[in-house]
Amino acid sequence: MSTASNTKSINRRNFLKLSSFTGAALSIGFYFPALAKHASVINLGDANEDIEMNAWMLINTNGKVTIFSHRSEMGQGAYQAIPQMVAEELEVNLDEVNIVFAQGDNKKYGSQVTGGSSTVRGSYKNLLNLGATAREMLIAAAALKWKVPHLECYAEGGHVFHKPSGKKFHYGELVVEASKLATPKNVQLKTRAEYKLIGKPLRRQDTKLKTNGAAIFGLDKKIPGMLYAAVERNPRLRGVVKSFDDSAARRVPGVKNVFKIRMKVYSTYREGVAVVADSTWAALQGKKALMIEWDDSGFEHLDSSEIFKRQQEALQMKEGLSYKKQGNADSIIQQAQNKIDVVYQTPYQAHSAMEPLNCIAHFQKDKLEIWGPIQGPDWVQEFMSTEMGIAKENVIVNVTFLGGGFGRKAFLDYPYEAAMISKETGTPVQVVWTREDDTSQGPHRPGMSYRCEGVIANGEISAFKVKLSGQNMDQWGGGAKDKPNDSSSEGFLKPYYESIKNLSIQDVPFDTPIPIMWWRSVYASTNGFAYESFMDELAIEAGKDPLQFRRQYLKDERCQRLIDKMEEVSGWKDRKKNEGFGVAITECFETTVGQIVKVSKNKEGKLKIDQVWAVIDCGWYVNPDTVRAQVEGSIVMALGAATMHEITYKDGMAEQKNFYEYKMPRITDIPLIEVYIMENNADAGGVGEPGLPPFAPALTNAIFDLTGKRIRKLPFDMERI
C-alpha cells in the first residue's frame, strides 16, 4: 500500500485529494529527531490549504481516522501494532481506521528503520500520548459546544458522549473546533487494566489485504511508462567488468538498452551489466544472453574452509581487543590444571526473504522518486540525497508491503542501483533480482568462530573467557578497526556480569573481501550459540543441572521468574529416560527469551525434535498473537540455520544459488511449539528477533543430554547424529 500512485510528488494537498478527504482535518504528530520526547499539534483549518504537514494522524470531518505507519510491514506486525496503540488511546475502532505507509522523512517521524526489533519499544509511549492528546482535545471541543464541564464527557468508538444527557458527536463534527485548541500537557494515559485493544489478540489489519490480493508488494507496483531491468553482477564484490558482448542480448525481443552499471555497497562498488526491457521476462532473457569477462584481480578469492581455518588460527595465536574485562580470568585460566577450552563455529547465512529484492526508481534531473519493499525509507532518502546530489526533500521514498526482510531490505544497494539505471535511461525502471541473485550476491550474515575457555572450582565458575573472530559489520560500515565489535556480547545476559567475577570477552579482528551485514537478531544469532552452549558445558563440568546452574548465575528477579515459568511449562523436573532436554536463555533488544527443547529417537533410531517451549519476557506488549507468531517464526528460521542451510564459498564466490541448494524447513520439519509471555510492568522490549538466538544452543544441548554428543559447529545434519 503506497502513499503515492503516480510519479507526481505527494504533498499534503495531493494526499488529501487522492484520499478523498474534504473539509477540515486535525493533524497530530511528532517531531522527534531522537525517539520523540513530546507531541505537537498542527491546526490545519481548511484541509485544502497547502500547510506543511507534520502529521502522524488525520481526522476528517466525516469522522474517518487515518494513521500513518512510520515503519515497514514485512510480516512482523508493525502495520497492526502502530494503529493498535494509537487507536487505544484515541478511542476509535481499529477496523474503521485507514492505515497508510508514511513516506521517508525522519524529521517528521524520527527513525523509520524497521530493525533492531524497535517499532514498539522505540515509540510506544509517544504513540500512546499522541492518541490520548487527540482524544482529550476532541472531548474539550465537545464540552465547549455543549457548554458543559469537561469531566462530564468521555470518548468511545470515535464519538464523544455527554454522560448526563446522552448526547454525542462523532469526531468529524468536532475536528475543526478541536484543531483550534491549545495542546493539553501531561494527558492521562490508560492503565493496563483499562485497555480495550492493547494486550488483546486482535486480528491483523493486513491479513485481509494479503489474502484477497489487495496488498501491494514491491513486485506488484507499476508506474506509467515503467521499464524493467535485470543486472548481471560480478559474483565477487570487488571485481570489475573488463569487457562484455551484448549483441545476443540486444536481439532478445523487448530489450531496449544494455549498459555497464555500478551499485554502491558500503565504501566500494559492485559492477555489472544492466539489461533494460519492456518486460521482466525480456530483461531476464537478455541478461542470460550476455557474454561478460570479469577482472577479479587484486583481492583474495577465498574458500569457506580457508576462512574458518584462519579464524581458528587467529583465536589460538592472538589476544583480541578487549570488549569486557572484570577480575583476573586470564591468569586463572593460565594457571588452571583442568579447564574447558573449546571452539564453536557458525556459518555465513543468506536472508532468503520470500520476495526477492526489487525496487522502482524514477530519476528526473533534480528529483528522485522511489517505490519498493524498503526497511529504512529515511536511510534511503538520506543516502540518495548525498550520493546523487539531490536536495533531501526532492528524494521521495514510498514504501510497499515487504515479503520478508530480516535486515537485507534495510540496505541501500538495490535502491541505489535502480536509481542509477533510471538516471541512465531517463525513464522509471523496476529492477528485479532473481532468487539466484538474492542468494549468492550477499551481503550475508558473517561466519563466526569462538574460542571459549573456562575453569570450574568447587562447583562454581572460577573463570570465563570468550574470544570471537569474524567480520565486523561496524568496520564494513566505516567503523574504526582498532575497536572491538560493539556486539561482542550481544545475546549474553547482563546479570551474568554481576555473578561471574572473573570474565573476559575479546574480539579478534578478522576480515575478508566477502560482503556481510546484519541478519535477524544480528550477532545474537551467532553469539547465542557459543555462549549458551559453553554455559551448558560449564554446568556439566560443575556436575549441576543446566537450568539450575543458570538460575544460580541469573539472580535478577525477572530472570528468576522466567526460569520458574520455563521449569513449570516444560515439566523440566519430571524428565524421563530416553528423552533429551536442552535449555538456553539469551537477551537482545531489551528482551529475554528462554527456550527448552525436547528431543528423542524414533523407531529407526533417527533423532527428532519433539517439542519447543519458549518463554519471552518483552515487558509491555501490544498483541499477544503477534508476539507468539514472531517467536514461532524465529524458531523456524533458527531451525533452518542450525540444521539445514549455510552459504559456503569456493574461489571467492557463494556456491548456493536457490532453494534446491539452500534448503528451507518444511512444515513436516516443524515441532510442536508453545510460547508463553511473561506479564509485568517493565518497559517494552523487542519481539521480532529475540526468539531466534536461544533455539540452536537449546537444541544442541538437548542432543548432548540424549546422546552425549556435543555439537560445536553449525549447521549439522539431524540425520547423521
What pLDDT digit, counting tens, does each position of 524-533 carry?
Answer: 999 999 999 9
Q: Which pLDDT score is estimated for 55?
A: 55
Average pLDDT score over the chain: 91
- CB 366: neighbour CB atoms within 10 A? 10
Reported confidence tier of residue 4, pLDDT bands at 50, 70, 90: very low
- Contact criterion met (CB below 8 Å) for 390 and 368: yes
> Which architecture does CATH list for 12-211?
2-Layer Sandwich (3.30)
Mean pLDDT in residue range 607-617: 98
- Contact criterion met (CB below 8 Å) for 87 and 57: no
Q: 295-344, pLDDT tens digit by residue?
A: 999 999 999 999 999 999 999 998 999 999 999 999 999 999 999 999 99
Q: Which pLDDT score is estimated for 340?
A: 98
d(CA 354, CA 348): 19
Mean pLDDT in residue range 539-560: 98
Q: Is 549 exposed, middle or buried (0-12, 13-18, 19+ CB in 10 A)?
A: buried
Mean pLDDT in residue range 12-18: 35
Q: Which pLDDT score is estimated for 42?
A: 39
Q: Which pLDDT score is estimated for 47?
A: 41
Q: Evaluate if residue 8 carries a pLDDT over 90.
A: no
- Contact criterion met (CB below 8 Å) for 433 and 414: yes
DSSP helix/strand/coil, 14: helix
DSSP helix/strand/coil, 184: coil
The CATH number of domain 318-348+445-720 is 3.30.365.10:
yes
Q: Evaluate if residue 26 carries a pLDDT over 90.
A: no
Q: Which pLDDT score is estimated for 29?
A: 57
Q: Evaluate if residue 663 carries a pLDDT over 90.
A: yes
585-610 burial by CB neighbour count: b if 16+ within 10 A, else e? bbbbbbbbbbbbbbbbeeeeeebebe
d(CA 293, CA 303): 22
Reported confidence tier of residue 695, pLDDT bands at 50, 70, 90: very high
Question: Whole-prediction pTM value?
Answer: 0.92
DSSP string, 320-357: -EEEEEES-HHHHHHH-SS-EEEEEEE-BB----SS--
* 21 or 385, greater pLDDT: 385
Q: 176-212, pLDDT tens digit by residue?
A: 888 888 889 889 999 999 999 999 999 999 999 999 9
d(CA 720, CA 708): 14
Least Cα distance to 365 among 392, 387, 394 occurs for 394
Q: What is the DSSP letter of 217?
A: B
Region of poorest pLDDT, from 124-133, 222-231, 540-549, 707-716? 124-133
DSSP helix/strand/coil, 52: coil
d(CA 488, CA 507): 7
CA distances from 484 to 311, 325, 467, 520 (A): 15, 12, 11, 21
Type of residue numbered 61: T
Strands 429-432 and 255-265: unpaired
Q: Which pLDDT score is estimated for 24?
A: 57
Q: 349-378, pLDDT tens digit by residue?
A: 999 999 999 999 999 999 999 999 999 999
Q: In which residue are the cell numbers 529475540 written?
A: 690
Q: In which residue are the cell numbers 555462549 written?
A: 531
Q: Which pLDDT score is estimated for 154?
A: 97
DSSP helix/strand/coil, 302: coil
- Contact criterion met (CB below 8 Å) for 122 and 591: no
* 477 or 236, greater pLDDT: 236
DSSP helix/strand/coil, 554: coil
112, HSE (Cβ side, Cα atoms, 13 Å): 31
Q: Which pLDDT score is estimated for 31?
A: 38
Q: What is the DSSP letter of 678?
A: -
Q: Find how far residue 92's CA is from the centre of its chain.
A: 29
Q: Cell digits for 140?
A: 474539550
Strands 607-617 and 672-677: parallel
Partners of 674 in the β-ladder: 613
From the DSSP assignment, how many helices (H) and strands (E) are in the chain? 20, 28
Q: Cell digits for 434?
A: 532473481
Q: Which pLDDT score is estimated for 529?
A: 98
Residue boundaries of the structural domains of the chain: 12-211, 218-298+357-432, 318-348+445-720
Q: Which pLDDT score is estimated for 58?
A: 87
Q: Evaluate if residue 597 carries a pLDDT over 90.
A: yes
d(CA 232, CA 237): 12
Q: 38: which residues sit within 8 A by CB, 6+ positions away?
A: 30, 32
d(CA 600, CA 67): 49
- Give percent of the chain above pLDDT 70: 92
Fold identical between 12-211 and 318-348+445-720? yes
- Contact criterion met (CB below 8 Å) for 438 and 382: no
d(CA 449, CA 530): 9
Helical ranges in 212-341 per DSSP H: 247-250, 280-288, 304-317, 329-335
Least Cα distance to 256 among 277, 284, 287, 274 occurs for 277
DSSP helix/strand/coil, 71: coil
Mean pLDDT in residue range 594-600: 98
Q: Evaluate if residue 345 carries a pLDDT over 90.
A: yes
Region of poorest pLDDT, from 50-59, 138-147, 546-555, 571-580? 50-59
Q: Count of residues for the chain?
A: 721
Q: Which pLDDT score is estimated for 185?
A: 87
d(CA 115, CA 407): 7
DSSP helix/strand/coil, 91: coil
DSSP helix/strand/coil, 301: coil
Reported confidence tier of residue 25, pLDDT bands at 50, 70, 90: low
Q: 670-684, pLDDT tens digit by residue?
A: 999 999 999 999 999
Q: 390-436, pLDDT tens digit by residue?
A: 999 999 999 999 999 999 999 999 999 999 999 999 999 999 999 99
Q: Residues 105, 108, 110, 113: what is their CA dihedral angle, to the nearest 10 degrees? A: -30
Q: Residues 205, 210, 211, 214: what is their CA dihedral angle, to the nearest 10 degrees? A: 100
- Contact criterion met (CB below 8 Å) for 627 and 600: no
Mean pLDDT in residue range 269-284: 98
Considering the four listed CATH numbers 3.10.450.710, 3.30.365.10, 1.10.357.10, 3.40.50.300, the one that applies to the domain covering 218-298+357-432 is 3.30.365.10
Q: Evaluate if residue 474 carries a pLDDT over 90.
A: no
Q: Which pLDDT score is estimated for 5?
A: 34
